[in-house]
Amino acid sequence: MVWIIIIVLVVLIVGWLIAIYNNLIKLRENVRNAMGQIAAQVESRWDAITNLMQATQKYQSYEQETLEKIVNARTSVTDHASVSDIDDDQQQFASVLGVVNALAEQYPDLKASGVYQQTMTAVDEFENKVRLSRMVYNDTVTKLNRAIQIFPNFLIAGPMGFTKETYFKNTEGKQEMPQWEQKN
């Protein structure tokens, strides 16, 4: 009778450990999936800018140099990317977008073209999707980090190699609401 109780307790404990481990695996995969969603939006954003530059062949000399800058600046973001990788990509993209906007200012015909306007609309949509994906990522990171830190999970998480993930934070200059001044 005692052996049966011991065996049942061991089976329950092992089952409980397996359940915790599987839950931690599921949460970690959710974080990777969320990062993959960000990566997909980042890639689409880069594709939109690259396609715009390829569509503006009539501005050949300056455009070719700009296209080369875009291709060289484009980074490959994957589902295993870190928050700092995404932040670095964001800075590179902002720099390239500045170059594209300078090109549009230099060539008013380009700025007025439907291709440019559609691309800028698409880039804005992808930016919004990146923001939403970051929010989903932070939510999944919260769930994983919470699961890693609570008792009794932390007894299993640490020895099994689970570590806290990093959150996306507001970038500098975006921590406050922009101020709008009404002109009289």
How many other CB atoms are found less than 10 A from the CB of residue 166? 13
- Say if 2 falls within a structural domain: no
- In this model, does residue 111 exceed pLDDT 50? yes
| 23 in a structural domain | yes
> What pLDDT shows up at residue 178?
42
Contact 92, 49 (CB under 8 A): no
pLDDT tens-digit map of 141-167: 999 999 999 999 999 999 999 999 999
Quick check: pTM over 0.85? Answer: no
pLDDT, tens digit (0-9, with 9 covering 90-100), for 11-39? 999 999 999 999 999 999 999 999 999 98
**Is residue 50 situated within a structural domain?**
yes
* Residue numbers of the domain that contains 50: 17-157
Examine residue 8 and state whether it is found in any structural domain, yes or no: no
Domain count, the chain: 1
**Domain containing 98 — which CATH number?**
1.20.1440.20
Q: Is residue 143 part of a domain?
A: yes
125 in any annotated domain: yes
Q: With a cut of 80, say whether residue 61 has pLDDT above it.
A: no
Nearest to 75 by CA among 99, 61, 54, 92: 92
